[in-house]
Amino acid sequence: MMLLRSSGLALAAALLLTGCDEPAEAPAPEEPAAEVAETQAAEPMAFTYADPERGGAILTTEDEYTSRVQPREAGIRAKNAAATSFQDYAVRYKADVQDFTEEERAALGAVIEKHLPLLDLLMPLLPDELVMVKTGSVVEGGLPHTRANAIIFAGGAIPEGENLEALFLHELHHVLSRANQDLHDDYFALIGFEPCTLEEPEDLKAARLTNPDAPSYRHVMPVELAGADAVTPYLYATSDYSGQGGLGDYFGLGLLPVTLQDGVCTPVAEAPEGLLPPGEVPDFLERLGGNTGYIIHPEETLADNFVYWAMEREGLPTPELPEEVGTFWTEAAARAQN
């Protein structure tokens, strides 16, 4: 167990190497981390590297994502057109979990240590444990994502340097956001979204690609658009599984136009063919700020802006947006602390 402590709130980040009798030691930093006091003012926050057994259990746990998976996307994820539900590919996901290498543990440990002040700040809003799971490219087509309080580093290897730092922060945001869904209405409003109750038309629902990090559609953006009051980005599968290609090869994205009245959204489009290209709704793109092309859900757009805030990214088209994101979470953490 490697214990780290930031200089702010009493945070102990315990890197628990699950499944190992003795933890591997990360390279010693040039300046040793401050010792953890025997008496903590707060409970330690644990960062755990899951072994294949625990990782498999996490990936096969049923949740909002698994309950919303549609037959078409199940076939794509299972690489078997006969699959119709999460249960049809859960075993494949479980078998895809890998152990982290010592080098990967050290690299992730360095990223965590670098961002201890941020983790310290957000501790009142975060789960007590953050689990890191490594998989190959079977799980979600090798795309990193989160489940509950776990970050899934899919693809068989983790990136290096700033790419790893950005990936960790992006996925940390999803864990943070999932743990504080009661804040979503105010949070998504930073980029112009407001809550609504949306019932998906059956033909559209059948084509949906469910994002584990944002499995539901509960917010829309009011825009100037003939025949509609608002839109929401909608991710869908372009076809049934064809026998080749991975999950990313089937991605389709369009804006779902809706009418809006008293918090209830009524879709104007009944199927993917009725979705609008984002470029045809300039109000939508302008309100998102232009800092990222990741616009498939307000959760994802805000996750990238969270990364920019944490990494102090410069030269952005809308530099105030990351600051607003940071202020939002800073103030939320302060309220939770009190």
The CB density around residue 54, as the number of other CB atoms within 10 Å, is 17
Q: What is the pLDDT of residues 77-123, one digit of tens each?
A: 999 999 999 999 999 999 999 999 999 999 999 999 999 999 999 99
Look up residue 84 and give its two tokens: 């119709």
* pLDDT at position 25 over 80: no
Amino acid occupying residue 34: A
* Cα–Cα distance measured from residue 37 to residue 49, given in angstroms and rounded to the nearest whole number: 24
* Cα–Cα distance measured from residue 225 to residue 282, given in angstroms and rounded to the nearest whole number: 10
* Cα–Cα distance measured from residue 308 to residue 315, given in angstroms and rounded to the nearest whole number: 10
Q: What is the mean pLDDT of residues 247-271?
A: 97
Contact present, 145 and 171 (Cβ < 8 Å): yes
What pLDDT, on the 0 to 100 scale, is given for residue 220? 99
Q: What is the pLDDT of residues 122-146, one digit of tens each?
A: 999 999 999 999 999 999 999 999 9
Amino acid occupying residue 274: G
CA angle at residue 249 from 290 to 79, to 5 degrees?
A: 140
Contact present, 151 and 172 (Cβ < 8 Å): yes
* Cα–Cα distance measured from residue 182 to residue 306, given in angstroms and rounded to the nearest whole number: 18
Amino acid occupying residue 164: L
The residues facing 97 across adjacent strands are 135
Amino acid occupying residue 284: F
Closest CA to 177 of 317, 329, 48: 329
By percentage, how much of the chain surpasses pLDDT 90?
A: 86
What pLDDT, on the 0 to 100 scale, is given for residue 44? 67
What pLDDT, on the 0 to 100 scale, is given for residue 43? 62
Main-chain phi, psi angles of 247, to 5 degrees: -55, -45
Contacts of 9 (CB under 8 A, 6+ apart): 41, 42, 120, 121, 123
16-25, 40-49, 299-308: which has the minimum mean pLDDT?
16-25
Kind of pairing, strands 150-153 and 129-135? parallel
Higher pLDDT, 274 or 6: 274
* Cα–Cα distance measured from residue 81 to residue 237, given in angstroms and rounded to the nearest whole number: 13
* pLDDT at position 239 over 70: yes
